[in-house]
């Protein structure tokens, strides 16, 4: 059976009174243009508002969680939580890609699983909740669905560049290990390829992951490898 908006609402933890707002949040510009519509009939305007609501909610939460942190820490940590990669992970957990309304070309090029597209939809449905029920409800929905990401960011488990972080761990002053990344497989048509990457520390396999580009595959691989590296060698930094 196909995924439905009703199931999405259940997973999100909010039921919309105005269903048109929910549908608008999932309407990509390519779908609108393909159906000869206007730009304001896509989710772009919702995305603009959702970005602001997200920044405020996450900023306030960090202010409460870290009463002694300075502005630089708060700003950097918020950027980790609301970055494209983090929001896309929320979207995938909610199976957003299965409900996206895309133009045919965008759909064929893998648009339903692009980090940029998925993160835009998260911002859009947050704005939709805000317009449907107000700030307090939007705040509740955000904190419910981003709680794990907030915890990971506050506890130093999220990095914008996982590959650099892994290499940094492996080149500590007290102990050094050779990190090697390899692209071991690729498949699919030119417009929608997938790549498999592996990473080794001193010849020992740490992890394997897939991405839509070689860079994404290596980043996904490094993200999974960090915990495994620390288990094997400890965190000397």
Catalytic positions, written as ranges: 51, 123
Q: Which of 181, 178, 162 is nearest to 170 (CA)?
A: 178
What is the per-residue DSSP string for 87-149?
HHHHHHHTTGGGT-B--HHHHHTTGGG-HHHHHHHHHHHHHHHHHHH-HHHHHHHHHHHHHHH
48 three-class SS: helix
**Cβ pair 183, 214 in contact under 8 A:** yes
Q: Is 174 exposed, middle or buried (0-12, 13-18, 19+ CB in 10 A)?
A: exposed
β strands within the chain, DSSP E: 179-187, 194-201, 204-211
């Amino acid at each position: 059976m196909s995924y439905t908006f009703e199931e999405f609402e259940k997973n999100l933890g909010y039921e919309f009174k105005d269903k048109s707002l929910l549908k608008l949040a999932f309407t990509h510009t390519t779908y609108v243009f393909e159906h000869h519509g206007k730009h304001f009939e896509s989710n772009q305007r919702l995305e603009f508002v959702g970005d602001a609501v997200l920044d405020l909610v996450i900023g306030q939460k960090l202010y409460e969680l870290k009463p002694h942190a300075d502005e630089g820490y708060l700003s950097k940590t918020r950027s980790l939580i609301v970055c494209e990669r983090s929001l896309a992970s929320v979207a995938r957990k909610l199976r957003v890609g299965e409900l996206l309304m895309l133009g045919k070309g965008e759909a064929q090029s893998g648009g339903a699983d692009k980090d940029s597209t998925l993160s835009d939809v998260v911002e859009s449905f947050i704005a939709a909740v805000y317009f449907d029920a107000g700030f307090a409800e939007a705040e509740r929905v955000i904190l419910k669905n981003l709680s794990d990401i907030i915890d990971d960011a506050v506890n130093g488990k999220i990095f914008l560049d996982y590959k650099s972080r892994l290499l940094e761990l492996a080149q500590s002053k007290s102990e050094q290990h050779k990190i090697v990344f390899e692209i071991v497989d690729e498949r699919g048509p030119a417009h929608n390829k997938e790549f498999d990457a592996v990473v080794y520390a001193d010849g020992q396999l740490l992890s394997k992951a897939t991405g839509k580009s070689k860079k994404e595959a290596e980043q996904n691989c490094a993200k999974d490898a960090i915990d495994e590296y620390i288990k094997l060698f400890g965190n000397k930094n």
